[in-house]
């Protein structure tokens, strides 16, 4: 079963606006990651936040993590048409040889020029 | 070099064919992954190799056979596939799994597979 559940499932905004996407998960995690996927292409890693971190920034991206609520949010500021893509959160549980990522269902973001 | 390459980009095969997908990375990563992704769905993990040894098989049918010849290469051998196996097959790599959990994964562009 999938660990992460993003909402909304689809988001349409105007260029220049901020986009906020949320992810909820069910079990304890080691870290949570966000990925972007342009149509039919491979995934691109955006940001990783560890379970002992609450907030992280990377350029126009801001990620928060609330382990008590088992939720994370991804904020993209000053959006651009090029940000149009699908966004996935992915959770990583404990490490070792059986480490793996479990992806949420994804959010489709459309940024209108 | 932070690139994962996959060949071929597109593959059309019949149900009786045997084909292989190839993946290569030169980042020194010792964990490599195969995912299957259907349209408008998230990637589904199929296999994980850690230090060239199969560490996770997510109950994948035997018509999919992975192989890791060395630390840079990962193959997925296909035989007697079904039309429902048509999907985007993604390869990824990451630093070796450690106690702190999976680090960021680098994905290839994928192979678009169509089974007739």
Sign of the Cα torsion B59, B65, B69, B73 reads negative
CB contact under 8 A, B112 and A40: yes
Residue A32 has pLDDT above 70, yes or no: yes
Query: Which whole-number Å values give the CA distances from B40 to A20, A40, A61, A93, A96, in the listed order?
Result: 20, 10, 24, 25, 31
Confidence label for B97 from pLDDT (cuts 50, 70 and 90)? low
Average pLDDT, chain A: 91
* Rounded Cα distance, A15 and A76, in Å: 11
A75–chain B nearest CA distance, Å? 19
Res B101: pLDDT: 60
B50 CB within 8 Å of a chain A CB? yes
Q: Give the lowest-confidence range in A109-113, B1-5, B27-31.
A: B1-5
Res A40: pLDDT: 80
Q: Which two tokens stand for residue B91?
A: 């390869």
Residue A91 has pLDDT above 90, yes or no: yes
Res A27: pLDDT: 87
Closest C-alpha among A22, A4, A1 to residue A104: A4
Answer left, alpha or beta for residue A62, where phi above 0 means left and psi between -120 and 50 means alpha. beta
B4 with B105: CB under 8 angstroms?
no
Residue B102 has pLDDT above 90, yes or no: no
Residue B99 has pLDDT above 60, yes or no: no
Res A8: pLDDT: 77
Residue A55 has pLDDT above 90, yes or no: yes
CB contact under 8 A, B101 and A43: no
What digits encode the pLDDT tens for the residues B63-93? Answer: 999 999 999 999 999 999 999 999 999 999 9
A43 with A36: CB under 8 angstroms?
yes
Q: What is the DSSP string of A52-72?
A: T--EEEETTEEEEEETTTTEE
CB contact under 8 A, B97 and A99: yes
What digits encode the pLDDT tens for the residues B17-47? Answer: 999 999 999 999 989 999 999 999 999 999 9
Chain centre to alpha carbon of residue B21? 8
């Amino acid at each position: 079963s999938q660990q992460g559940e993003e909402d909304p499932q689809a988001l349409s905004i105007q260029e220049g606006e901020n986009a906020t996407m949320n992810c909820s998960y069910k079990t304890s995690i080691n870290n949570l990651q966000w990925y972007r996927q342009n149509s039919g292409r491979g995934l691109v890693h955006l940001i990783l936040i560890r379970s002992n971190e609450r907030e992280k920034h990377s350029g126009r991206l801001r990620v928060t993590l609330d382990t008590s609520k088992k939720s994370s949010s991804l904020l993209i500021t000053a959006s651009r048409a090029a940000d149009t893509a699908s966004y996935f959160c992915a959770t990583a549980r404990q490490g070792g040889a059986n480490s793996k990522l479990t992806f949420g269902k994804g959010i489709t973001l459309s940024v209108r020029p | 070099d932070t690139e994962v390459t996959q060949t071929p980009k597109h593959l059309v095969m019949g149900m009786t064919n045997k084909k292989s997908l190839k993946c290569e990375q030169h980042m020194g990563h010792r964990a490599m992954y195969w995912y299957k992704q259907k349209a408008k769905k998230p990637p589904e993990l199929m296999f994980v190799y850690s230090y060239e040894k199969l560490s996770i098989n997510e109950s994948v049918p035997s018509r999919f056979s992975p192989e890791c010849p060395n630390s840079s290469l990962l193959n997925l051998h296909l035989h007697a596939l079904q039309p429902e196996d048509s999907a985007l097959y993604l390869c990824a790599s990451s630093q070796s799994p450690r106690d702190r959990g999976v680090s960021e994964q680098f994905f290839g562009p994928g192979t678009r597979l169509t089974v007739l």
